[in-house]
């Protein structure tokens, strides 16, 4: 059954070697350039039109194509720009911090840290990525926790977020416990300009009270019972779900034992 | 993961049964096949019990079985047709108790294929040739003969092929000593195949074809073929030559027809039907099974219809011409797969479902006034005879073999709070169904219990003479007295036995030929046959504390640890040995082995001392009372017993029968542990110790006889029997209360029993089902049980029973009423009164359906019920009969978040289901509230579109598989509310398992799907599946990522999700679900890995991960449709795995399976076997011949006892 190569043609051997190495390396596609879909296919994150491929091989072929390479320029260009922006702001922040230190008014390292985190949080909203990312859990934890605010009071979300992909399983216990442990920057409002926040007034993350836990649980219960929130935050019945005939309104939290 | 397969109980269903003189003696035996097992049974004509002599796994499917005897021979051979593509001829060797493969001829590929022979076997009744046929085309004839040394020889095959021909049945025609002839029910489909209009297909007739083997030309010819009017289903050979008219009986729908060559006209007789039967009258009646009885002067056939009615069929002849077929209703017994009439007047019935029976034929049905039906009676075409079924009249039931097959469902739990879990098994079919509770242990039948005047200490039995078969006296010792009872018709006290009654007894026994000995604290009393008494008194103030006695020797231990030895001389005098021996510590227990046949004495005395040692002391005259060996013990010994076990029956040169086995020293310790040690018969060395914990009390040991061999009864807090059975050691607990002292017992009524004491009662017990692992308690059910669930709070079972082709009770009553009315209406004016009386009698008549079968309602008719049962007492607490044509298929017990603390039972029901072509008129989910756990209160019913085949509780709601839809239902006020749905399971959801947020769904043909429920989006999303199509019957969660599943072809598979599996796959982000963008074949993107594959060979219907013995490790228990129970256990160390892997490898090459199928290919029938080692094969090591055992053990760098110890260890670690 062994397959033996005949002859000792050097160049042929080298071509084969190269091909083999290429084959082996073809799977090393940077994680942020492609993603696996639920149906087992792949999509290229570089190209704006998000082509879908059946196999890694086809993706590899695509990655050698002209359009992709063009896209790559744009993709990395954008990335570099972003990086540049980050460094710029960091620098600004550093300079400001230096100034303040010279003022002597605040030498609290905690404040600096908080400020740094606010910056960070600010920046993270800038690059919007329509694709699901396997490793990043922060975005939807934040979105889940903001969505968890009862009564549809969250109007600060951009419409874009509403149209975004369905949130991943930010579910009951896991979601709750981890959101408790998340860093403070996530809890603070991202859209508020930084200047408005007096450093001392930055609230600590709201501790998970029993009340809040109940609210969250109630929210999930409504969701899993087939209630949906429309754009205005009103609870409406899902058309595909059955309800008792006398069930017109979702049970409010007060009535829930 | 590496697993080891252990069979706990072999399959109990029988597929074939044949009878013959397989051991070559006058005795008739029965060979049965149980799918992949061959078993030799011997009905004992005296006791009417069926004993199993030998069981062999053949690792192949036995498709046909025939007994074959050469002309003029006295011994029957077994011809086996299997899926191996080979014909195998086996011979039974009674001396070695094993089958030997004497011929194995390969003719085709392996597997159950259309054109590879193996399905049909027919032998020439005069023993000259065998025909082996396939379902289609191929038939081969082998000529069998004997060579100069009278050994069986086999010829090359002769072909009798005919293409495009289907075969229905083949038999050998009895033509005396003319050329052997085979009759074959065939159908030639060539024309039908080539006719596109389908006309030919409608007109094709079945033919009866005769094949003649021309012994002169060594050639098979198609002698004669005749088209049949009715479609036949099987043939019966009619004795020929000098015994009868020859020819065949063709059993077909509604008729039985006799056919033969020459001038013989066809004789045709309709099959009688039951009078006033509720069955559909348009339904045909067929014979399904037959048995032939032939003596020198007469012959008859017993043929059984599919309702279970047996008819005795006789032929009237006039000068070699058959003139008449006569049928007479014989009796009604459960429908059989095979029946054997034995020369001793027994009828062995291998039932299709449920227990097998042995009947005695008490009458031949000749001399009574019941009508006999004859082909000569004038009847219109299409008309038939009627008879009235009645309880047994000609047959008497003498023995019953328990049969679990088919096991529909099984759950293992300790519902009775007995420490050891019980197996709750729903088994059987139709009205013969039962719920059985299986407990590990030997069944004990209590023959007698009698109260005694006080609490006795000990009991013995003695015979009066060494040649006597039965015991004469029972001696019971009390604290200060001894009671002697004589055994006769009754048991009564005697005073003239010569025993001293005013003192307690330490031991007593038969001494020499006909003397008795009684050892009591102050001396030894030797009672001669003529009642002369010799007494030996203890010296000084010493008393006897312990003693050991056998047929010729007495050893006593005096206070202070002094041993005194007595031996009987040829004159019958008991003589003291000149020296005494002082032991270093007090003697706690002693034991002497039985005197080996033909010898003067037993050479060893075992003494247990208070210093935690056991010493072996020689009794040989050359070194008498010298210590030979010693063993230190972990605790103080309590009791000792030397027995010879594990021997095979051997006949020595003089013709004396005896068994040659190993000597074992059993040591019972005070901490409840039993040690079994091999005692070297030459040097007295002790080796190879096996340990087993028996219970909390000190272990007392008693030697008893079981099936002619020595066995040890060990008593702790539970009693155990250690015995050797089919070359394997068994240590099985008795399912009986605690006993204190016991002895063997033999009387006319109970040839092999035990007499035992328990508090102040004397009990006579019998252990009949040796070899059985479980004892059973059965509770009858009405229809075939499908599934059951355990209510966790009350431990009651909720069981659903469903039968196809059946009427519900209500419909039955209604139909009966209707028929009764018709009877009255049809009668003329003057007969009205009589008709009304008959109708009333008909309405009152109530034949038990378990025996007479339930009426067949026709296809598409279903009857079903839900039963709430207490499994401990077997009480039905509540029962809900569903309407006609509603079939319950799934059941679950659950609590709903929105409905408080009440328990609800959900029953998935299909309405108007037709099996083929499959259609269904919808379904329902019935919801019942379990009020107090004792009552089923109907709440509501929820209509669904398809059959709900699976229901499972899930996070305070219920997951239901409705056809191919997976749904979540919540409790509503008027019905269950559908909350969520997944439509992506391809065919039919058959099972649902949940763990955390994961749901694992099994599809009827596409294996398993892993589904994730997301509360936030209220979605069920498939995130992983399996790569192989599997027809999953049942599945079981092993851990968060691992599932075990079994399929209908008899495979067990374990699949595991790879560690990097993500539960959070998303729907397509592009949102455009275009045709080109669906997943490959709609599969999930993540696939489970197969880690274990194993072919069991029987359809598995239940899997459960559980521990079977308290303190044992977990194992995966499976039960099969054929009634088998087995476990898969993990290896704990790499060394073990390595060892068994090599053992299996050697066994494969050294001990190839009997059926001719290769073991590896059998275990890889559908998927290559992976990571499982076959314990059934490994355990055959014990039944191999010793020199082979030795060579295999040497390859493994071990000794044979070490290998069998390893085999025993792995078994006892997980099970029994």
Reported as a single tens digit per residue, the pLDDT across B1030-1069 is 999 999 999 999 999 999 999 999 999 999 888 877 554 4
Note the pLDDT tens digit of each residue in B279-290: 877 888 999 999
* Nearest-Cα residue of chain B relative to residue A51: B1070
- Could you write out the DSSP letters of every residue in A95-142? HHHHHHHHHTS---HHHHHHHHHHHHHHHHTSS---S--SS--HHHHH
Q: Give the residue from B920, B982, B9, B966 showing the smallest Cα distance to B427.
A: B9
pTM exceeds 0.90 for this model: no
Residue pair B422/B762 in contact by the 8 Å Cβ criterion: no
Using the beta-carbon criterion (under 8 Å), do A171 and B1083 form an inter-chain contact? no
pLDDT recorded at residue A26: 66
Contacts of B980 in chain A (CB under 8 A): 224, 226, 241
Distances (CA, A) of A179 to A150, A206, B678, B925: 16, 10, 67, 40
Q: Is A223 on the interface with B (CB under 8 A)?
A: yes
Q: State the distance between the two ends of chain B, measured CA to CA, in whole angstroms.
A: 23
Note the pLDDT tens digit of each residue in B460-501: 999 988 888 889 999 999 999 999 999 887 788 888 888 998
pLDDT recorded at residue B1072: 45
Residue B839 has pLDDT above 60, yes or no: yes
Note the pLDDT tens digit of each residue in B312-370: 999 999 888 999 999 999 999 999 999 999 999 999 999 999 999 999 999 998 877 88
Picking from A224, A240, A244, the nearest residue to B972 by CB comes out as A244
B1066 to chain A nearest CA, in Å?
5
3-class secondary-structure state, position B845: coil
Note the pLDDT tens digit of each residue in A147-203: 444 444 433 433 434 433 444 443 433 433 333 333 333 333 444 444 444 444 455
Encode B344-368 in three state secondary structure.
Answer: CCEEEEEECCCCEEEEEECCCCCCC
Picking from A37, A166, A238, the nearest residue to B1085 by CB comes out as A37
Picking from B973, B1015, B1079, the nearest residue to A171 by CB comes out as B1015
Residue, of B1068 and B1175, whose pLDDT is higher: B1175
pLDDT recorded at residue A255: 55
Q: How confident is the model at residue A254 (pLDDT cuts 50, 70, 90)?
A: low
pLDDT, mean of residues B760-777: 89
Picking from B978, B1065, B1066, the nearest residue to A165 by CB comes out as B1066
Picking from B977, B1069, B1070, the nearest residue to A244 by CB comes out as B977
Strand pairing class (B1172-1174; B3-9)? parallel
Contacts of A165 in chain B (CB under 8 A): 1066, 1069
Percentage of residues in chain B with pLDDT exceeding 70?
97
pLDDT recorded at residue A101: 67
A50 to chain B nearest CA, in Å?
8
* Nearest-Cα residue of chain B relative to residue A244: B972
> What are the strands, taking DSSP E only, across B248-345?
248-252, 255-259, 267-270, 273-274, 287-294, 299-305, 309-318, 321-332, 336-341
Contacts of A168 in chain B (CB under 8 A): 1064, 1066
> H or E element: which one contains B590?
strand B587-592
3-class secondary-structure state, position B676: strand
Chain A to chain B, count of Cβ pairs less than 8 Å apart?
104
pLDDT recorded at residue B459: 94
Of A36, A56, A136, A169, which to mutate for an interface test with B (greatest number of B Cβ within 10 Å)?
Answer: A169
A242 to chain B nearest CA, in Å?
5
Q: Is A237 on the interface with B (CB under 8 A)?
A: no
- Distance, CA of B482 to CA of B138 (rounded, Å): 76
Using the beta-carbon criterion (under 8 Å), do B1014 and A169 form an inter-chain contact? yes
Contacts of A145 in chain B (CB under 8 A): none
Q: How is residue B854 written in tokens?
A: 């339930």
Residue B1154 has pLDDT above 80, yes or no: yes
Contacts of A38 in chain B (CB under 8 A): 1021, 1023, 1065-1068, 1079, 1084-1085
User: How far is residue B1068 CA from its own chain's centroid?
Assistant: 54
pLDDT recorded at residue B1109: 87
pLDDT recorded at residue B1000: 96
Using the beta-carbon criterion (under 8 Å), do A223 and B1012 form an inter-chain contact? no
Averaged confidence pLDDT in chain B: 91
Q: How confident is the model at residue B237 (pLDDT cuts 50, 70, 90)?
A: very high
Q: Is A166 on the interface with B (CB under 8 A)?
A: yes
Using the beta-carbon criterion (under 8 Å), do B979 and A225 form an inter-chain contact? yes
pLDDT recorded at residue A193: 44
Percentage of residues in chain B with pLDDT exceeding 90?
70
Radius of gyration over alpha carbons of chain A, in Å? Answer: 25
Picking from A37, A243, A245, the nearest residue to B1069 by CB comes out as A37
B882 to chain A nearest CA, in Å?
26
Residue, of B687 and A158, whose pLDDT is higher: B687
- Could you write out the DSSP letters of every residue in B1103-1165? EEEE-SSTT---EEEEEETTS-EEEEEE-SSHHHHHHHHHHHHHHHHHS--TTS--HHHHHTS
Note the pLDDT tens digit of each residue in B644-680: 886 655 444 444 454 557 889 999 999 999 999 999 8
Residue pair B14/B352 in contact by the 8 Å Cβ criterion: no
Q: Which of the 8 DSSP states describes residue B734?
A: B
* Nearest-Cα residue of chain A relative to residue B969: A242
Picking from B1064, B1067, B1079, the nearest residue to A169 by CB comes out as B1064
Note the pLDDT tens digit of each residue in B302-312: 999 999 999 99
Using the beta-carbon criterion (under 8 Å), do A165 and B1069 form an inter-chain contact? yes
Residue A89 has pLDDT above 80, yes or no: yes
CB within 8 Å of chain B, chain A residues 175-204: none
A222 to chain B nearest CA, in Å?
9
- Distance, CA of B549 to CA of B563 (rounded, Å): 13
List residues in chain B touching A: CB distance below 8 A. 970, 972-974, 977-981, 997, 1012, 1014-1018, 1021, 1023, 1062-1070, 1077-1080, 1083-1086
* Nearest-Cα residue of chain B relative to residue A55: B1080
* Nearest-Cα residue of chain B relative to residue A41: B1079
Using the beta-carbon criterion (under 8 Å), do A39 and B1017 form an inter-chain contact? no
B988 to chain A nearest CA, in Å?
21
Picking from B973, B997, B1065, the nearest residue to A38 by CB comes out as B1065
Strand pairing class (B255-259; B356-361)? unpaired
Contacts of A243 in chain B (CB under 8 A): 972, 977
Picking from A131, A223, A242, the nearest residue to B1018 by CB comes out as A223
B992 to chain A nearest CA, in Å?
20
Contacts of A134 in chain B (CB under 8 A): 1062
B1040 to chain A nearest CA, in Å?
17
Of A34, A38, A43, which to mutate for an interface test with B (greatest number of B Cβ within 10 Å)?
Answer: A38
Residue, of B961 and A244, whose pLDDT is higher: B961
Contacts of A40 in chain B (CB under 8 A): 1079-1080, 1083-1086
Residue, of B749 and B968, whose pLDDT is higher: B968
Of B944, B958, B970, B1015, which to mutate for an interface test with A (greatest number of A Cβ within 10 Å)?
Answer: B1015
pLDDT recorded at residue B406: 93
- Distance, CA of B1019 to CA of B661 (rounded, Å): 68
Using the beta-carbon criterion (under 8 Å), do A39 and B1063 form an inter-chain contact? no
* Nearest-Cα residue of chain A relative to residue B980: A241
> What are the strands, taking DSSP E only, across B1049-1114?
1051-1056, 1086-1087, 1089-1095, 1100-1106
Place of tokens 């067929």: B286
- Distance, CA of B944 to CA of B989 (rounded, Å): 14
Using the beta-carbon criterion (under 8 Å), do B1079 and A39 form an inter-chain contact? yes
């Amino acid at each position: 059954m062994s397959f033996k190569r005949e002859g000792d043609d050097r160049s042929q051997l080298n071509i084969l070697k190269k091909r083999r190495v290429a084959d082996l390396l073809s799977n090393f596609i940077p994680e942020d350039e492609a993603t696996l879909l639920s149906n087992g296919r792949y999509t290229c994150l570089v190209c704006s039109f998000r082509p879908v491929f059946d196999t890694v091989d086809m993706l590899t072929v695509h990655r050698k194509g002209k359009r992709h390479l063009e896209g790559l320029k744009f993709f990395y260009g954008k990335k570099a720009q972003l990086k540049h922006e980050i460094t710029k702001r960091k620098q600004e922040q550093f300079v400001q911090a230096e100034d303040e230190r010279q003022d002597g008014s605040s030498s609290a390292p905690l404040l600096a840290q908080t400020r740094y985190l606010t910056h960070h949080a600010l920046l993270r909203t800038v690059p919007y990525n329509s694709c699901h990312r396997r490793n990043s859990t922060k975005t939807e934890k934040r979105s889940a926790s903001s969505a968890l605010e009862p009564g549809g009071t969250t109007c600060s979300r951009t419409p874009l977020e509403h149209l975004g992909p369905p949130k991943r399983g930010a579910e009951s216990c896991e979601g709750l416990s981890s959101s408790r442990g998340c860093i403070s920057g996530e809890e603070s409002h991202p859209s508020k300009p930084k200047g408005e926040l007096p450093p001392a007034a930055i609230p600590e993350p709201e501790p998970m009270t029993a009340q809040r836990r109940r609210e969250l649980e109630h929210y999930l219960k409504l969701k899993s019972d087939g209630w949906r929130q429309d754009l205005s935050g009103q609870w409406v019945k899902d058309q595909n779900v059955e309800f008792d005939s006398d069930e017109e309104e979702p049970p409010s939290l007060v009535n829930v034992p | 993961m590496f697993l080891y397969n252990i069979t706990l109980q072999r399959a109990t269903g029988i597929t074939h049964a044949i009878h013959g003189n397989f051991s070559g003696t006058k005795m008739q035996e029965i060979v049965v096949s149980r799918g992949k097992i061959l078993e030799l049974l011997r009905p004992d004509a005296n006791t009417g019990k069926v004993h199993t002599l030998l069981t062999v796994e053949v690792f192949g499917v036995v498709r046909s079985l025939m007994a074959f005897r050469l002309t003029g021979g006295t011994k029957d051979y077994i011809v086996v047709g299997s899926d191996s593509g080979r014909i195998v001829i086996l011979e039974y060797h009674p001396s070695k108790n094993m089958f030997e493969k004497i011929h194995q001829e390969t003719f085709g590929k392996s597997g159950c294929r259309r054109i590879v022979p193996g399905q049909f076997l027919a032998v020439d009744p005069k023993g000259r040739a065998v025909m082996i046929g396939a379902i289609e085309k191929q038939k081969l004839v082998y000529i069998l003969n004997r060579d100069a040394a009278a050994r069986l020889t086999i010829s090359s095959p002769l072909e009798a092929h005919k293409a495009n021909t289907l075969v229905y049945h083949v038999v050998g025609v009895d033509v005396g000593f003319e050329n052997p002839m085979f009759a074959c029910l065939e159908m030639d489909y060539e024309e039908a195949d080539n006719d596109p209009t389908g006309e030919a297909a409608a007109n094709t007739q079945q033919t009866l074809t005769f094949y003649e083997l021309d012994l002169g030309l060594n050639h098979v010819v198609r002698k004669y073929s005749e088209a049949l009017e009715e479609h036949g289903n099987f043939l019966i050979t009619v004795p020929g030559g000098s015994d009868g008219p020859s020819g065949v009986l063709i059993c077909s729908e509604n008729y039985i027809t006799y056919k033969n060559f020459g001038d013989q006209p066809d004789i045709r007789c309709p099959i009688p039907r039951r009078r006033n039967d509720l069955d559909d009258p348009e339904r045909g009646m067929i014979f399904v099974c037959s048995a032939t009885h032939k003596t020198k002067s007469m012959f008859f056939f017993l043929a059984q219809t599919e309702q279970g009615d047996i008819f005795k069929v006789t032929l009237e002849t006039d000068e070699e011409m058959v003139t008449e077929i006569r049928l007479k209703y014989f009796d009604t017994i459960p429908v059989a797969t095979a029946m054997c009439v034995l020369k001793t007047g027994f009828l062995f019935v291998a039932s299709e479902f449920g227990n097998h029976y042995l009947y005695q034929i008490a009458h031949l049905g000749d001399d009574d006034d019941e009508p006999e039906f004859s082909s000569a009676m004038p009847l219109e075409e299409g008309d038939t005879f009627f008879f009235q079924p009645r309880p047994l009249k000609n047959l008497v039931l003498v023995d019953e073999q328990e049969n679990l097959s088919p096991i529909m469902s099984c759950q293992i739990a300790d519902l009775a709070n007995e420490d050891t879990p019980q197996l709750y098994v729903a088994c059987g079919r139709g009205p013969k169904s039962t719920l059985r509770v299986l407990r590990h242990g030997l069944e004990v039948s209590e023959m007698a219990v009698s109260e005694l005047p006080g609490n006795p200490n000990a009991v013995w039995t003695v015979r009066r003479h060494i040649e006597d078969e039965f015991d004469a006296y029972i001696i019971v010792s009390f604290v200060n007295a001894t009671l002697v009872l004589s055994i006769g018709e009754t048991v009564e006290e005697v005073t003239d036995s010569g025993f001293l009654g005013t003192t307690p007894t330490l031991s007593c026994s038969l001494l020499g030929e006909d003397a008795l000995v009684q050892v009591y604290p102050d001396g030894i009393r030797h009672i001669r046959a003529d009642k002369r008494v010799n007494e030996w008194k203890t010296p000084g103030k010493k008393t006897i504390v312990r003693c050991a006695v056998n047929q010729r020797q007495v050893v006593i231990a005096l206070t202070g640890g002094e041993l005194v030895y007595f031996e009987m001389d040829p004159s019958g005098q008991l003589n003291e040995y000149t020296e005494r021996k002082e032991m270093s510590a007090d003697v706690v227990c002693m034991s002497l082995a039985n005197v080996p046949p033909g010898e003067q004495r037993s050479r060893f005395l075992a003494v247990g001392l208070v210093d935690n040692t056991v010493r072996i002391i020689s009794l040989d005259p050359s070194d008498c009372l010298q210590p030979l060996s010693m063993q230190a013990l972990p605790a103080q010994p309590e009791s000792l017993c030397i027995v010879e076990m594990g021997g095979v029956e051997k006949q020595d040169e003089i013709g004396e029968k005896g068994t040659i086995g190993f000597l074992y020293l059993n040591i019972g310790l005070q901490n409840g542990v039993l040690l079994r040690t091999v005692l070297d018969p030459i040097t007295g060395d002790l080796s190879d110790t096996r340990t087993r914990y028996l219970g909390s009390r000190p272990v007392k040991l008693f030697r008893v006889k079981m099936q002619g061999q020595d066995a040890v009864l060990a008593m702790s807090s539970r009693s155990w029997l250690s015995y050797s059975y089919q070359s394997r050691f068994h240590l099985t607990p008795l399912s009986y209360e605690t006993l204190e002292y016991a002895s063997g017992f033999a009387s006319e009524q109970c040839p092999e029993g035990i007499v035992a004491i328990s508090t102040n009662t004397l009990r006579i017990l019998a252990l009949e089902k040796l070899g059985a692992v479980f004892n059973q308690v059965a509770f009858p059910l009405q229809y075939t049980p499908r599934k059951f669930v355990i209510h966790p709070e009350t431990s009651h079972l909720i069981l659903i029973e469903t039968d196809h082709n059946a009427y519900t009770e209500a419909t039955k009553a209604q139909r009966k009423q209707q028929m009764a009315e018709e009877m009255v209406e049809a009668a003329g004016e003057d007969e009205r009164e009589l008709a009304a009386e008959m109708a009333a009698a008909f309405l009152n008549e109530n034949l038990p359906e378990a025996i007479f079968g339930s009426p067949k309602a026709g296809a598409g008719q279903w009857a079903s019920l839900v039963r709430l049962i207490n499994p401990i007492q077997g009480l039905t607490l509540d029962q809900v009969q569903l309407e006609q044509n509603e079939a319950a298929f799934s059941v679950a017990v659950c609590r709903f978040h929105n409905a408080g603390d009440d328990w609800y039972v959900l029953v998935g029901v299909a309405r108007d289901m037709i099996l083929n072509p499959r259609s269904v008129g919808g379904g329902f989910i019935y919801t019942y509230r379990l009020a107090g756990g004792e009552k089923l209160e109907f709440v509501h019913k929820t209509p669904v579109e398809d059959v709900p085949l699976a229901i499972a509780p899930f996070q305070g709601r219920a997951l239901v598989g409705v056809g191919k839809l997976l749904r979540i239902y919540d409790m509503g006020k008027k019905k269950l509310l559908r909350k969520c749905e997944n439509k992506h399971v391809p065919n039919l959801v058959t099972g649902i398992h949940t763990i955390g947020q994961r749901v694992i769904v099994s599809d009827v043909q596409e294996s398993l799907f892993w589904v994730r429920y997301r509360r936030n989006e209220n979605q069920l999303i498939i995130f992983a599946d399996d790569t192989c199509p599997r027809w999953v019957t049942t599945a079981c969660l092993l851990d968060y990522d691992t599932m075990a599943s079994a399929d209908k072809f008899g495979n067990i598979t374990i699949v595991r999700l790879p560690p990097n599996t993500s539960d959070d796959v998303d729907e397509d982000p592009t949102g455009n679900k275009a045709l080109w963008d669906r997943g490959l074949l709609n599969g999930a993107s993540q696939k489970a890995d197969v880690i274990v594959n194993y072919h069991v060979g029987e359809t598995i219907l239940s899997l459960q991960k559980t521990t079977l013995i308290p303190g044992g490790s977990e194992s995966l228990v499976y039960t099969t449709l054929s009634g088998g129970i087995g476990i898969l256990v993990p290896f704990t160390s790499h060394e073990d795995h390595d060892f068994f892997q090599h053992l299996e490898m050697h066994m494969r090459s050294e001990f190839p399976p009997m059926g001719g199928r290769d073991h590896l290919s059998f275990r890889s029938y559908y998927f290559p076997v992976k990571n499982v080692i076959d314990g059934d094969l490994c355990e055959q090591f014990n039944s191999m011949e010793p020199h082979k055992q030795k060579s295999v053990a040497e390859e493994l760098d071990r000794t044979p006892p070490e290998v069998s110890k390893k085999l025993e260890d792995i078994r006892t670690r997980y099970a029994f």
